A and B are shown apart, each in its own frame.
Chain A
Amino acid sequence: MMMAAKAHHIAQAASSISIHDVSHSYGGRGGGQVMLALDRINLDVGDCEFHCLLGPSGCGKSTLLYLIGGFIPVQAGVIATAKGPVSGPGPDRSIVFQNFALFPWKTVKDNVLYGLKKAGFDAGEREKRAQDYIDLVHLTGFENAYPSQLSGGMQQRAAIARTLAVDPGILLMDEPFGALDAQTRRVMQEELRAIWRRSRKTVVFVTHDVHEAVFLADRISIMSARPGRIEHVIDVDLPKDRGEEILEDPRFIQFSERIWRLVREQAVAATRGAH
């Protein structure tokens, strides 16, 4: 119980992220070609902000998320949270990976329980939370299924449940709804937005879907194609309470179009750059 209280305390602490002059390149070891993936990224994500990274495929969105998560070492620049500079993965920053990264040898329930156990929740609390989040992502009845028995969309929802259950202060999500069909995706977007409104966490959400970004985010960073740069940071000027009805709101439609034009500029620039 004491540990549970501690986990809760972390979630309550200030959870801002500051990214200062971060560049990242791949390759170059053993005389190979060096490829610049991220070029001097500067970004401050405020406490309890919902921030979307929007950009064409290959622009370095996942790389930036892995850097914030501490999975790959920062080569140049600084990434810091309230706890200081990021130097490795930690339970204060939980992530939903693009490819789910479930434990294939554990059932859905045990996957969710793993994180809860590590976070220090006591046994009864673990059971309850695991079931709550499995229900939340509509996997009720599949608690004892193994990932290999599930469709891609179901695996993705299991991964979302596993990460949300530990109630991290900072939530990193890498195209977490990419494997879902359109209706499920819509439901999950509303669910996520509601959870975020309730639990006040900082979210960095990667997507290449303009509507998804506009629906979810407080602010959107639009990234350029390789090497990834942040070209625009835009405040989403829409009501905080967003239900399904907002999709037909003229403000939503207009705003989405504006974002769409900016994203398309990047895509066009990218194809031109390739020739």
Chain B
Amino acid sequence: MSDMAQARPLADAVKPGAPRQPWTISAKLVDTAVQVAVILALAAAWEFGARYGAINPFLLPPLSVVLERLWSDLISGVVPVDLGLTLYRALTGFLIGAALGITIGILMARSALVRWFFDPLISIGFPMPKIAFLPIFILWFDIYDTSKIIMVAFSCFYPIVSATYAGTSGLDKWPIWSARSFGARERDLLWEVYLPMAMPQILTGLQVALPVGMITTIVTEMLMGGRGIGGTMITAGRFADSVGVFAGILEIIILGFVVVKGLEMIRRRLLVWHPESQR
């Protein structure tokens, strides 16, 4: 039974002579180390460039000063409130966009009627700058959270609906035939086969939509004012508080990094079965 010993990542005996696991780990480590080094070098250039007069410290305040401000705002509670509000708006909008996008994407793939209705709407809407709808949402809803969240959901909807539609329309027939032969009914197939099968593409849609949602949140906050990272940055700008503006930039960078990495982790979790997770 020679083919029994051929389970690739499971069998601990990797091909004899092939470099063993530690080698790949150290390659990954080197990768990370280089990336961290580049970021540190940029941070150092920023710090010293600003501190020793290469750049006007009003236009670009030294990193240490910005970090100090971030720290004091963190203690005073300004940063947690701003971060919390921005994150709440971004994620709520994203989740609403995802729920609608995934549902409509699947329905479009399953029913010609739904496809006829939404296809033109999506073709027209996708390339449009969604932010242009903001005045409408402000008129229809409010100048607070509702219109911001709807704006975010609206901008996240497009990449998600098109990825889901693409993912669920050209499905491999074999798992579907398998499920049918075991007695699955049409409505079982959605949860049991279509969704798991389209999951890689749906997740890709979500990964495209998430940064779009973050951008939309910040821009909406900037346009409408009030609390939240974007609003606070615009206020700082109006008061010529350049340290405050750069503190906002750092907050956005950190928030964006955490949220995007979080979604990447979810992807790895959901797709453990996929060959992409086994490289």
- A136: interface (CB < 8 Å): no
- B257: interface (CB < 8 Å): no
**Cβ contacts under 8 Å, A150 to chain B:** 6-8
Q: A103-B178, A115-B182 are in contact. Are A142 and B10 (CB under 8 A)?
A: yes
Question: Taking CB as reference atom, which chain A residue is nearest B176?
Answer: A101
- A94: interface (CB < 8 Å): yes
**Distance between Cα atoms of A173 and B182 in the complex (Å):** 15
**Distance between Cα atoms of A11 and B8 in the complex (Å):** 37
Interface residues on A, range: 35 or more
- B53: interface (CB < 8 Å): no
Whole-angstrom distance between the Cβ of B195 and the nearest chain A Cβ: 10
Whether A101 contacts B178 by the Cβ 8 Å rule is yes
Binding site for B on A (CB under 8 A): 69, 71, 88-91, 93-95, 97, 99-107, 114-115, 118-119, 138, 142, 145-154, 166, 179-181, 183-184, 187
Question: Taking CB as reference atom, which chain B residue is nearest A90?
Answer: B183
Return the contact of B4 from the options A69, A149, A184 (Cβ within 8 A). Answer: A184
- B174: interface (CB < 8 Å): yes
Q: A105-B199, A118-B183, A149-B278 are in contact. Are A97 and B3 (CB under 8 A)?
A: no
Main secondary structure of the interface of B (DSSP, over half): helix
Q: A103-B196, A104-B175, A106-B273 are in contact. Are A151 and B181 (CB under 8 A)?
A: no
- B261: interface (CB < 8 Å): no
Q: A142-B7, A149-B7 are in contact. Are A102 and B1 (CB under 8 A)?
A: no
Whole-angstrom distance between the Cβ of B222 and the nearest chain A Cβ: 42
Return the contact of A146 from the options B177, B183, B272 (Cβ within 8 A). Answer: B272
Whether A148 contacts B10 by the Cβ 8 Å rule is no
**Cβ contacts under 8 Å, B180 to chain A:** 71, 88-89
**Distance between Cα atoms of A119 and B7 in the complex (Å):** 30
Interchain residue pairs with CB less than 8 A apart (23): A88-B180, A93-B181, A101-B174, A101-B178, A103-B175, A103-B178, A104-B197, A107-B273, A114-B182, A118-B183, A138-B1, A146-B272, A148-B273, A148-B278, A149-B8, A149-B278, A150-B6, A151-B7, A153-B6, A154-B4, A154-B7, A180-B3, A181-B1
**Chain B 223-249 interface residues, beta-carbon cutoff 8 Å to A:** none
Whether B7 contacts A71 by the Cβ 8 Å rule is no
Question: Taking CB as reference atom, which chain A residue is nearest B4?
Answer: A138
Whether B7 contacts A104 by the Cβ 8 Å rule is no
| Most A C-beta atoms less than 10 A away, residue of B177, B181, B192, B199 | B181
| Most B C-beta atoms less than 10 A away, residue of A90, A99, A118, A184 | A118
**Cβ contacts under 8 Å, B273 to chain A:** 104-107, 146-148
Whole-angstrom distance between the Cβ of B60 and the nearest chain A Cβ: 49
| Most A C-beta atoms less than 10 A away, residue of B177, B183, B193 | B183
Whether B1 contacts A145 by the Cβ 8 Å rule is no
Whether B174 contacts A99 by the Cβ 8 Å rule is yes
Question: Taking CB as reference atom, which chain A residue is nearest B181?
Answer: A89
**Chain B 80-120 interface residues, beta-carbon cutoff 8 Å to A:** none
Whether A71 contacts B177 by the Cβ 8 Å rule is yes
**Cβ contacts under 8 Å, A114 to chain B:** 179, 182, 192
Whether B3 contacts A153 by the Cβ 8 Å rule is yes
**Cβ contacts under 8 Å, A103 to chain B:** 175, 178-179, 193, 196
Question: Taking CB as reference atom, which chain A residue is nearest B271?
Answer: A105
A-B pairs, 3 with minimum CB distance = A153-B3, A101-B174, A151-B6
Q: A101-B177, A104-B273, A105-B199 are in contact. Are A118 and B7 (CB under 8 A)?
A: no
Question: Taking CB as reference atom, which chain B residue is nearest A172?
Answer: B181
- B9: interface (CB < 8 Å): yes
Whole-angstrom distance between the Cβ of A163 and the nearest chain B Cβ: 8
**Cβ contacts under 8 Å, A69 to chain B:** 177, 181
Whole-angstrom distance between the Cβ of B111 and the nearest chain A Cβ: 20
